[in-house]
């Protein structure tokens, strides 16, 4: 397989973090949540608030790994008219002002399949997408999207979980690039947190199998937790807790209330405070 040249943004960002001797903060938000104008302000403000990498959820109506918070975010985004084209438009908009912060699209294969794989990869690359996390495509299905993505120069980031044992890891890591996302708990997003000792052991085991950076997610909600995770892992991923801030900033009619954007970005600043040594 011929791998196309990727943007280099993910590798450069992790190299910069290593040079700064600190871990990174990966923030997840669902594209278009709660509506396009509000989301644009959140997205554009994330790097300044301390996000080192951004995961952008592709709104989907039938998720399998997402907890109630992120499911509700998809419902809000879809109700406001979000779709794949608008998700890529948002990345394109972001790139007008930020050419450095990596953006990884995260979600499920169905919307990509409907959009058309070749068209999706071409449009995603042109928009400025750096990587994909598609949770319902196992390594055995790499021909569907993973290999075409790598050929197009888009990183394909794979999840490892507490049940991914040493026998399974080589298959998981074979075509993984950019970084490895370690899911620290069994179950869905945002419902519980992993034990630090267990996470430390898992990250050390992953590092014995790969030189790729390891980001840890699921259940991280505080600056102290970010600090604890990044003492072991290369980055901490926060999703549901940020999405909860968006939900809590809606008025009685489900519309964005005054101060929602500031509340979300101030929370990200608080989380980023945990990155300091």
CA distance 38 to 41: 5
Side-chain-facing half-sphere of 213: CA atoms under 13 Å: 24
111 φψ region: left (φ > 0), alpha (ψ -120 to 50), beta (else): alpha
Report the residue count for the chain: 277
Q: Per the residue annotation, which of 6, 33, 52, 55 is the catalytic one?
A: 55
Q: Per the residue annotation, which of 66, 130, 234, 244 is the catalytic one?
A: 66
Interacting residues of 149 by C-beta distance below 8 A, sequence separation 6+: 121, 132, 155, 156
Which residues on adjacent β-strands are paired with residue 29?
Answer: 56
CA distance 44 to 206: 33
Which DSSP state fits 250?
Answer: B
Could you write out the DSSP letters of every residue in 48-64? HHT-SEEEEE---SS-S
Phi, psi (degrees; rounded to nearest 5) at 34 = -90, -20
Which DSSP state fits 161?
Answer: -
| 66 has catalytic annotation | yes
CA distance 216 to 199: 8
- Whether 74 and 31 have beta carbons less than 8 Å apart is answered as no
Question: Which residues participate in catalysis according to the annotation?
Answer: 55, 66
């Amino acid at each position: 397989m011929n791998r196309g040249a990727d943007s280099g943004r993910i590798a450069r960002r992790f190299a910069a973090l290593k040079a700064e001797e600190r871990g990174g903060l990966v923030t997840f938000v669902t594209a278009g949540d709660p509506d396009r104008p509000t989301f644009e302000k959140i997205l554009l403000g994330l790097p300044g608030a301390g996000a080192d990498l951004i995961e952008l959820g592709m709104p989907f109506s039938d998720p399998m790994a997402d907890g109630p918070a992120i499911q509700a975010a998809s419902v809000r985004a879809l109700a406001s008219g979000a779709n794949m084209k608008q998700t890529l438009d948002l990345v394109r908009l972001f790139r007008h002002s930020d050419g450095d912060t990596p953006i990884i699209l995260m979600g499920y294969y169905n919307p990509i399949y409907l959009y058309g794989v070749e068209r999706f990869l071409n449009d995603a690359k042109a928009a400025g997408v750096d990587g994909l996390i598609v949770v319902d495509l196992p390594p055995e299905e790499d021909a569907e999207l993973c290999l075409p993505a790598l050929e197009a120069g888009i990183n394909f980031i794979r999840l490892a979980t507490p049940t991914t044992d040493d026998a399974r890891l080589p298959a998981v890591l074979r075509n993984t690039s950019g970084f490895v996302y370690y899911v620290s708990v069994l179950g869905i997003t945002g419902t519980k947190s992993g034990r630090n000792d267990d996470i430390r052991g898992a990250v050390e085991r992953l590092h014995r199998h790969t030189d790729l950076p390891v980001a840890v997610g699921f259940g991280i909600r505080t600056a102290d937790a970010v600090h604890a995770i990044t003492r072991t892992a290369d980055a901490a991923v926060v999703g549901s807790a940020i999405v909860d801030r968006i939900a809590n900033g809606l008025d009685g009619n489900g519309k964005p209330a005054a101060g929602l954007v500031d509340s979300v970005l101030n929370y990200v600043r608080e989380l980023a405070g945990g990155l300091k040594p």
